[in-house]
Amino acid sequence: MPSNTARKIAEPPPVLSLASGQMRKDQDISVRELRSMLDLAHDMKEHPERYAAALRGRYLALLFEKPSLRTRLTFELSIQQLGGGAVTTVGPIGEREPVKDVARNLARWVNCIVARTFAQQTVDDLAEWSGVPVVNALSDLYHPCQIFADAAALERHFGRLAGLKLAFVGDGNNVAHSLMLTLTRLGVSFAIANPAGYDPNPAIVAEARKLATAHGTKVTLTHDPEEAVRGSDAVYTDVWASMGQEHEAFERNLHFEPYRVNEALMHKAKKNAVFMHCLPAKRGQETTDGVMESKHSIVFDQAEYRLHAQKALLLMLLEGSNS
């Protein structure tokens, strides 16, 4: 398919239900369901009117322990554009009362819980006790909704996913984990370059490598940014100190200085390679303003697809069919 052309869908794609009934981590969605969600996201971008009342009368509870722009607003807009509504709380989850009590209260009022937390255990506990779908909107281990948007933005740009290579330069964090767990199953090989001591979780790497082998892709770990980026179709980075790591910022800046994605590093990738960032970005740290504003940057396409991918996910969780 030509570049910058979305996957063509003549008719509305089927809305599958997620067999897991949850989205706690990337592995909760199968490859078939991933493919269905991406098709649905592209169709929602092109034909939003088809879905304007798809979740009428359905409501989300958004629980946010961390600040948010894209995640909060796109989830609120997602359910509103599908005909439903959302209520949002900001602050620690499980501080005033146990998480299991929070979950069972919310399950009496809403159809789905979206949680942006520090600990993955909080997401897991909400899912265990709520009885309604729980969506991981970011935890210390995973950021699946971001990567669903990334996959859709990549596919829209290149017209395909199979055969691409994505290089991640920076911390072995939740974004890196979700990238390797999801993109490798969609045909994208993954390489990460990070400073020693900032490696991704070994258990997640082992699982990603098994998935990659099963789907004909590769997972590569290195401490050399040029090695990771060489021959890549996409170069991805993230902030050096995530929320909750601010006290480490000075030390991290020293270690990550050689891992800045600048124009010279981008030249090591393929000529038509794109630059990606989950945002917010600290320009001048993990990347330069020139790279962010270059013609190769698709960071705002990624941000836009947060809306479409999350609408697709919510529809699959709340209205999907097993047919």
pLDDT digits (tens, 9 = 90+) for 261-303: 999 999 999 999 999 999 999 999 999 999 999 999 999 999 9
In angstroms, the Cα distances linking 42 to 10, 171, 233, 257 are: 11, 30, 21, 37
What is the mean predicted confidence (pLDDT) over 75-95?
Answer: 97
- pLDDT interval class at 8 (50, 70, 90): low
- pLDDT interval class at 322 (50, 70, 90): low
- Please state whether beta strands 165-169 and 189-193 pair in parallel, antiparallel, or not at all (unpaired): parallel
Assigned CATH topology for domain 26-142+306-319: Rossmann fold (3.40.50)
Task: Identify the architecture of domain 144-302 in CATH.
Answer: 3-Layer(aba) Sandwich (3.40)
Percent of the chain with pLDDT over 90: 92
Candidates 238, 296, 301, 302; catalytic one: 238
Residue 277 among the catalytic residues: no
What is the location of CATH 3.40.50.1370 in the chain? 26-142+306-319, 144-302
Candidates 72, 209, 306, 308; catalytic one: 306
Percent of the chain with pLDDT over 70: 96
Candidates 35, 42, 58, 143; catalytic one: 143
Specify which residues 191 forms β-bridges with: 167, 220
Closest among 56, 65, 61 to 109, alpha carbons compared:
61
Candidates 22, 81, 146, 310; catalytic one: 146
What is the mean predicted confidence (pLDDT) over 127-146?
Answer: 98
Q: Which of these ranges, 99-108, 169-178, 200-209, 243-252, has the smallest mean pLDDT?
A: 243-252
Cβ-contact 150, 128 below 8 angstroms: no
Whether the pLDDT of residue 41 is over 90: the answer is yes
d(CA 189, CA 164): 6
Candidates 116, 177, 185, 308; catalytic one: 116
Residue 156 among the catalytic residues: no
Closest among 184, 205, 185, 203 to 194, alpha carbons compared:
205
Hey, what's the torsion of the CAs at 125, 68, 23, 27, to 10 degrees?
Answer: -100
In angstroms, the Cα distances linking 108 to 17, 75, 184 are: 22, 20, 38
d(CA 72, CA 285): 25
Peptide bond into 13 cis (omega under 30): no
Whether the pLDDT of residue 323 is over 90: the answer is no
pTM of this structure: 0.95
- pLDDT interval class at 129 (50, 70, 90): very high
Closest among 62, 113, 65 to 93, alpha carbons compared:
65
- pLDDT interval class at 247 (50, 70, 90): confident
Q: What is the residue whose two structure tokens read 């980026």?
A: 229
- pLDDT interval class at 27 (50, 70, 90): very high
d(CA 268, CA 281): 22
Residue 99 CA, distance from chain mean position: 24
Residue 146 among the catalytic residues: yes
What pLDDT does 7 receive? 54
Residue 306 among the catalytic residues: yes
